């Protein structure tokens, strides 16, 4: 019998390389056929990041990457006699690299993730953490679900949830910013990954008065359709299998998008918040959720006509009234098509916007504009009949 030797490690192949540009960093993701050993280091004058991958072959065209981007000038590669593949990333400024390997999960293969952080962009925004005066705008954190490496759900015609959520989020932000007294901040502005923890931190840092997370649902049964609205449930809330399953799916975002395990163990829930404040925020989240549902009813089908409650990680900034909206089922071919329709997206955004305005009014935080005094209850304001221009436009 032939002696069985410890097999000399087979070559690992890089099957694909993707690049995602975020405002504060650029992420490179390498799809691998297997795990591997690598070394990453910096070289200066000119600034370069070098990655040496042991026994690795590149079978993906680096030329297809959208380069240059704000961080990377270009990427070169070569292989040494000892089968080490060297990638040289020419960067435009001194960046802080971090990298990690990910095991296969949710249909994704072994991956190497390389983040090149821009130091001047990651400093905390001191200004935004100062106390706000009462004259300042009410801030709405508009959170487009998923992004970058994490596409979210996919429709039968391959429409990606991450693109729908961003399109609706941008339309919503535009409407909010055109309204005096309101200001929208997009948590994600493009196609890149933001961890759930960082979404929550961003909402806190901007001292948001309201957070709206936008998603689209998916299920195996293609006929299922309709919107649903969620708020955070605290321990002891009514168990609901569908809501729980959905929360698990949305919470898995981080694993798909590439967060090193252990990174989201941050005990946000244990932050010292007054119990009353917490409860007040949960109650107002419920009010907001009802307002959203009432308006979505006029735009399209509704899955559940009451707000549901589940433990969504992204809703855990418990001092901020927060809702998570599943716009519709992207897995339903008709609804998938509808979700890509710009006018339909606009109607969805308008529903979320109208709900926000009514919410703030009911909370006594937003006064009616003068032109509207004559005609309660609130009607959506058309910008052309409002002579006072927005401070943000």
- Hey, which residues between 307 and 336 contact Zn ion (CB under 5 A)? none
Least distance in angstroms from the C-beta of 357 to Zn ion: 25
Nearer to Zn ion, 73 or 189 (CB): 189
327 Cβ contact list (under 8 Å, min separation 6): 164, 165, 168, 214, 215, 216, 227, 296, 339, 348
Least distance in angstroms from the C-beta of 369 to Zn ion: 34
> Does residue 199 interact with Zn ion by CB under 5 A?
no
Q: Which residue in 291, 215, 210, 224 sits closest to 246, CA to CA?
A: 215
- Asked whether the beta carbons of 135 and 169 are under 8 A apart, the reply is no
Nearer to Zn ion, 137 or 250 (CB): 250
Q: Which residue in 198, 185, 205 sits closest to 264, CA to CA?
A: 198
Nearer to Zn ion, 97 or 145 (CB): 145
ω into 109 cis (within 30 of 0): no
Nearer to Zn ion, 145 or 226 (CB): 145
Judged by CB under 5 A, the residue of 171, 197, 215, 344 near Zn ion is 215
- Asked whether the beta carbons of 36 and 57 are under 8 A apart, the reply is no
Under rule CB under 5 A, how many of the chain's residues touch Zn ion? 4
Least distance in angstroms from the C-beta of 248 to Zn ion: 12
Helix segments in 178-240, DSSP class H? 196-205
Nearer to Zn ion, 116 or 325 (CB): 325
Strands 25-32 and 12-21: antiparallel
Least distance in angstroms from the C-beta of 215 to Zn ion: 3
Nearer to Zn ion, 179 or 313 (CB): 313
Q: In this chain, which residue has its C-beta nearest to Zn ion?
A: 215
Least distance in angstroms from the C-beta of 153 to Zn ion: 6
CA–CA dist 308, 224 (Å, integer) = 17
ω into 263 cis (within 30 of 0): no
Least distance in angstroms from the C-beta of 188 to Zn ion: 12
Sheet harboring 210-217: ordered strands across? 182-186, 138-144, 210-217, 322-329, 228-232, 308-310
- Hey, which residues between 10 and 69 contact Zn ion (CB under 5 A)? none
Least distance in angstroms from the C-beta of 266 to Zn ion: 21
Nearer to Zn ion, 290 or 328 (CB): 328
> By three-state DSSP, how is residue 197 classified?
helix
User: In the beta sheet, which residues pair with residue 309?
Assistant: 231
Nearer to Zn ion, 145 or 148 (CB): 145
Least distance in angstroms from the C-beta of 345 to Zn ion: 16
- Stretch in the footprint of Zn ion (CB under 5 A) among 49-57, 212-220, 267-275, 327-335: 212-220
Site string for Zn ion, 219-258 (x = CB under 5 A): -------------------------------x--------
Nearer to Zn ion, 251 or 390 (CB): 251
Q: Which residue in 322, 385, 361 sits closest to 182, CA to CA?
A: 361
CA distances from 96 to 40, 46, 147, 262 (A): 11, 15, 22, 21
| E runs forming strands in 68-188 | 72-79, 84-91, 96-102, 110-117, 138-144, 182-186
- Asked whether the beta carbons of 17 and 31 are under 8 A apart, the reply is yes
- Stretch in the footprint of Zn ion (CB under 5 A) among 85-93, 207-215, 297-305, 328-336: 207-215
Least distance in angstroms from the C-beta of 279 to Zn ion: 27
Nearer to Zn ion, 202 or 327 (CB): 327
Least distance in angstroms from the C-beta of 250 to Zn ion: 5
What value, to the nearest 5°, has the Cα angle with vertex 152 and ends 147 and 155? 125
341 Cβ contact list (under 8 Å, min separation 6): none
Site string for Zn ion, 140-169 (x = CB under 5 A): -----x------x-----------------
359 Cβ contact list (under 8 Å, min separation 6): 210, 284, 287, 288, 291, 321
Nearer to Zn ion, 97 or 147 (CB): 147
Least distance in angstroms from the C-beta of 285 to Zn ion: 18
What residue ranges bind Zn ion (CB under 5 A)?
145, 152, 215, 250
């Amino acid at each position: 019998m032939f002696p069985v030797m410890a097999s000399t490690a087979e070559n690992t192949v890089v099957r694909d390389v993707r690049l995602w540009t975020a405002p504060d960093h650029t992420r490179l993701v390498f799809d691998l056929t297997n795990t591997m050993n690598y070394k990453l280091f910096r070289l200066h004058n000119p600034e370069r990041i070098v990655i040496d991958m042991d026994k690795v072959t590149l079978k993906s065209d680096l030329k297809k990457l959208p380069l240059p981007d704000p961080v990377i000038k270009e990427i070169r590669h070569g292989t040494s006699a000892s089968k080490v593949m060297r990638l040289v990333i020419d960067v435009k400024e001194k960046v802080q690299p971090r990298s990690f390997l990910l095991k296969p999960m949710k249909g994704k293969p072994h991956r190497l993730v390389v983040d090149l952080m821009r130091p001047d962009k990651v400093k905390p925004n001191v200004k935004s953490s100062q106390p706000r005066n009462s004259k300042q705008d009410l801030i709405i954190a508009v959170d487009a679900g998923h992004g970058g490496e994490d596409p979210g759900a996919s429709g039968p015609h391959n429409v990606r949830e991450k693109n729908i959520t961003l399109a609706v989020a941008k339309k919503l932000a535009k409407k909010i910013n055109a309204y005096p007294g309101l200001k929208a901040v997009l948590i994600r502005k493009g196609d890149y990954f933001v961890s759930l923890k960082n979404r929550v931190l961003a909402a806190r840092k901007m001292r948001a008065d309201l957070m709206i997370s936008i998603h689209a649902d998916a299920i195996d049964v293609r006929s299922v359709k309709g919107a649903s609205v969620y708020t955070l449930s605290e321990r002891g809330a009514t168990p609901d299998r569908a809501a729980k399953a959905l929360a698990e799916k949305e919470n898995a975002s981080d694993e798909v998008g590439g967060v090193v395990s252990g990174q989201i163990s941050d005990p946000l829930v244990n932050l010292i918040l007054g119990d009353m404040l917490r409860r007040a925020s949960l109650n107002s989240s419920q009010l907001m959720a009802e307002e959203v549902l009432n308006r979505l009813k006029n735009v399209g089908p509704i899955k559940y006509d009451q707000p549901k409650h589940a433990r969504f990680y992204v809703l855990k900034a418990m001092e901020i009234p927060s809702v998570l909206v599943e716009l519709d089922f992207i897995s339903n071919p008709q609804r998938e098509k509808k979700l890509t329709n710009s006018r339909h997206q606009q109607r969805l955004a308008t529903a979320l916007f109208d709900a926000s305005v009514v919410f703030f009014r009911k909370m006594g935080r937003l006064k009616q504009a003068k032109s509207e005094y004559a005609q309660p209850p609130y009607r959506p304001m058309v910008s052309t009949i409002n002579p006072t221009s927005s401070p943000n436009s």
